[in-house]
Structure 1
Amino acid sequence: MILGLDIGGANTKASSSDGCYTKSVYLPIWKDFRLEAVLSKIREDYPNVEKVAVVMTGEGADSFSEKRFGIRYIQQRVESIFDDVYYFSIDGTFEREITDEKKFFSANWIASVIKLMDFDKSFLFIDMGSTTTDIIPVINGRICSERTDFARLLDGTLVYIGSLRTNVSTMVEKVRILSRNRYCPIAKEQYAQMADVYNILGDINEENYTCETPDGKGKSIEDSKKRLARIVCCDHDDLTNEELINIAEEIKMVEIKMLFDTITKFLNKTDKIKKIFVAGSGEFVVREALKRINGLYDINYLSDLFGTEISSIFPAFSVGSLLDRCLRYNNLHYYGNVFK
């Protein structure tokens, strides 16, 4: 049996290549060094694993002075638990050994895109997680994106906003206070995050609030309202419920507009893309943005195609599935040369 692992900075995700086993563990790798224990528990949960396919983004955690040290840290922890390990590179190939760490920086989205090429050769892939969003155009079986995070920030295919962990003070400069009929600048502190916004508005619940809270306190709607009030230096009782909901809606609309603007930028560049695939724990946010897209596109939500659990850990599922096929063809470079 093949297990896919996607080891990120905030979450470690696992899936069997057939999708029957899935797991996601919140593990902020920059301060929590339990990766080996988490992987050991995954091995215990899925004892029949024979081979492991790995993608990673956790090397970017600022606990590592350089990303290459993060790659080695993750490699050592994986190989302390699993015997037969294959690493997926930014070239779209599997490697048994890591000789050049840079080839393995943040390759998880590439695995997802290649997996979706089973369904179509021209599409836009949108994967919104707790922290970041990938927006990847694919035309005629070629990925039309740069490969590194730095280059993707520049070309817009990596947008550093997510559905949970994004600090709301990075999203907006001011919010409207209804009782004063005026806008108030917000405090540039990490008082609240997007999980609080979506919790207040009912888009997620405590179970979906999978990351830690900014103040280390509870995840109830009332807890989220207390945190949101702080962005304008208020206590909860200083603002009405209507005002807090209005603030949350304003912040939500800013994130949706950011997504909409980036998505339409790529769709307007070509007439060859008619299909859109959407994945991730933030699929519900992308769904709101796509309501503003006209009806010319065939929009496919991976929660409908594969189920919600697979959608939220799609790179882990994808990399396991890709390794399975590569081994059947006896060619670890079967998926190479997929970029424009």
Structure 2
Amino acid sequence: MEKYKIIGWDIGGANIKATKIIYNQQKQKLESIKSVSKFFPMWDQNLNPKAIIQEIYHNLAEADYFAVTMTAELADRFSTKIEGINFIVDLFKNNFTNKKLFFFNNQAQLFNPLEIANNFDRLLELAAANWSVSAAFAAEFKSDFVLFDLGSSTIDLIPVKNHQIAARGRTDVERLKEAELIYLGLLRSNLSNLTKNIPYQGQMVDVINEYFASTADLHLFLDIITPADYSVSPADNGEKTKKAAAARIARMISLDLNSISAGQLQLIADYIYNQEISLIYSKLLQLYSRFSLDYKIPLMMNREAALFENDLKMRSDFNFISLEELIPVLKDNTLTTTAAAFLLLKKLTKTDLTKLKELAND
């Protein structure tokens, strides 16, 4: 085969992402790469992901191979993880019968449908496996680091040593215990989960335990993200503006923009953001206490995580490196799905991925 056309898929609970690569084996060059991401609420049983997956596929055009990873098995539409896993596997098997399909497990190993069919333990290993795919791909390019991958819903902190994933956890519950997974994201996290109370007029006021505002509101209000980055539905299905975000934050203590000053609202936002950075910092310290008290092992940040770099620098001597600077092909492309496509390419062709960091010039 002269050209390998591969699509990497990441089927999440809130987003469906894909990246297509075309690799010219004869010339040993990466000819093209394109990523697509679409919001899809997997928890909504009235919606069928088949349509949006096919839409993304037609957008990316023809491919011969699919490499699939998933986290959507935890969505509310499924009563168990294995039900969700089988749903996603069957979704691809039944609708893309002419494709060569592969699925990643939580050790970044690839299996074809026959290898996982009717194998409960092997199927269960497909759950929430995208973190290992990202880390295994980054490990092709650097020996020792901690990958800091900030997504819309979660943070993955994945140690790598000698080009091998050194995570203690494999399942989500194991990773939560080991500070390798934080359920805190750039956009979708409920702000009321970050703090029990907030300062207002000289007192600490208890936060109402309702979903009034998200981290997207906080980050938009603080100019960490732009309205264009606000890709999720607001808690009140309202506008994605700083004023609307401010109103949602004020609602956390039963106020509105008529009853709170701009200065008071800024102080509240600063306080919540400090809690957010403190949570991330404490988890990083827990992780680094295993192996590097002097922070010599670098923290490799995706572009979303890099938004917090300056605030983390004020608290530590972490050595930060940019994932996109290390692997330029990730610029404007999605980490998990790019990783999935490239790792399958390596399996098929034994290609040295370090030679494909950038697109070919001709």
Q: TM-score, normalised by structure 2?
A: 0.85
Q: Could you say which residue in structure 2 is the equivalent of 1:314?
A: 335
Query: Could you tell me whether the CA contact under 8 Å between 2:17 and 2:36 is conserved in 1?
Result: yes
Q: Could you say which residue in structure 1 is the equivalent of 2:148?
A: 126
Q: State the distance in 2 between where 1:303 and 1:185 align.
A: 41
Q: Note if 1:21 corresponds to 2:9.
A: no
Query: Could you tell me whether the CA contact under 8 Å between 1:2 and 1:53 is conserved in 2?
Result: yes
Write the letter of the residue equivalent to 2:158: I
Segment of structure 1 superposing worse, 89-98 or 55-64? 89-98
Segment of structure 1 superposing worse, 66-75 or 78-87? 78-87
Q: Note if 1:199 corresponds to 2:220.
A: yes
Residue number among 75, 78, 96 corresponding to 2:89 in the alignment: 75
Residue number among 102, 122, 129 corresponding to 1:86 in the alignment: 102
Residue number among 80, 104, 115 corresponding to 1:66 in the alignment: 80
Q: State the distance in 1 between where 2:111 and 2:299 align.
A: 30
Query: Could you tell me whether the CA contact under 8 Å between 2:179 and 2:284 is conserved in 1?
Result: no
Write the letter of the residue equivalent to 1:11: N
1:36-72 CA distance string (max 9 Å, x none): 1111111111212110100000001122000111111
Q: Please give the root-mean-square deviation of Cα atoms over the aligned residues, in Å.
A: 1.9
Q: 1:243 to 1:303 in 2, by over 3 A?
A: farther
Q: 1:9 to 1:283 in 2, by over 3 A?
A: farther
Residue number among 219, 231, 234 corresponding to 1:210 in the alignment: 231
1:118-177 CA distance string (max 9 Å, x none): 222211111111111111112223322211001111111111111111101110011111
Write the letter of the residue equivalent to 1:88: F
Q: 1:75 to 1:34 in 2, by over 3 A?
A: same
Residue number among 149, 165, 168 corresponding to 2:172 in the alignment: 149
Q: State the distance in 1 between where 2:61 and 2:73 align.
A: 27
Q: State the distance in 2 between where 1:193 and 1:186 align.
A: 13
- Helix, strand or coil: the match of 2:332? helix
Q: State the distance in 2 between where 1:20 and 1:293 align.
A: 36
Q: TM-score, normalised by structure 1?
A: 0.90
Q: 1:273 to 1:262 in 2, by over 3 A?
A: same
Q: 1:117 to 1:158 in 2, by over 3 A?
A: same
Query: Could you tell me whether the CA contact under 8 Å between 1:124 and 1:275 is conserved in 2?
Result: yes
Write the letter of the residue equivalent to 2:59: D
Equivalence map 1:135-284=2 (5 Å): 135-145=157-167, 146-177=169-200, 180-271=201-292, 274-279=297-302, 281-284=304-307
Q: 1:49 to 1:157 in 2, by over 3 A?
A: same
Give the CA deviation at 1:25: 0.9
Query: Could you tell me whether the CA contact under 8 Å between 2:179 and 2:286 is conserved in 1?
Result: no
Residue number among 44, 47, 60 corresponding to 1:31 in the alignment: 44
- Helix, strand or coil: the match of 2:220? helix
Q: Equivalent pairs: percent with the same residue?
A: 26
Write the letter of the residue equivalent to 1:125: L
Q: Note if 1:41 corresponds to 2:63.
A: no
Segment of structure 1 superposing worse, 96-105 or 20-29? 96-105
Query: Could you tell me whether the CA contact under 8 Å between 1:39 and 1:81 is conserved in 2?
Result: no
Q: Note if 1:111 corresponds to 2:133.
A: yes
Give the CA deviation at 1:84: 1.7
Give the CA deviation at 1:236: 1.5
Structure 1 portions without partners, runs of 5+: 331-340
Q: Could you say which residue in structure 1 is the equivalent of 2:24?
A: none
Count of residues paired in the alignment: 324
Query: Could you tell me whether the CA contact under 8 Å between 2:68 and 2:102 is conserved in 1?
Result: yes
1:227-273 CA distance string (max 9 Å, x none): 11110001121101111121111111111111111112222322395
Write the letter of the residue equivalent to 2:178: D
Segment of structure 1 superposing worse, 77-86 or 271-280? 271-280
Segment of structure 1 superposing worse, 124-133 or 42-51? 42-51
Write the letter of the residue equivalent to 2:15: N
Q: State the distance in 2 between where 1:301 and 1:243 align.
A: 35
1:281-319 CA distance string (max 9 Å, x none): 444135532453216x2x222244435532xx2111101
Give the CA deviation at 1:274: 2.2
1:194-251 CA distance string (max 9 Å, x none): 1000111111121100011111111111111111111000112110111112111111
Q: 1:81 to 1:284 in 2, by over 3 A?
A: farther
- Helix, strand or coil: the match of 2:279? helix
Q: 1:44 to 1:291 in 2, by over 3 A?
A: farther
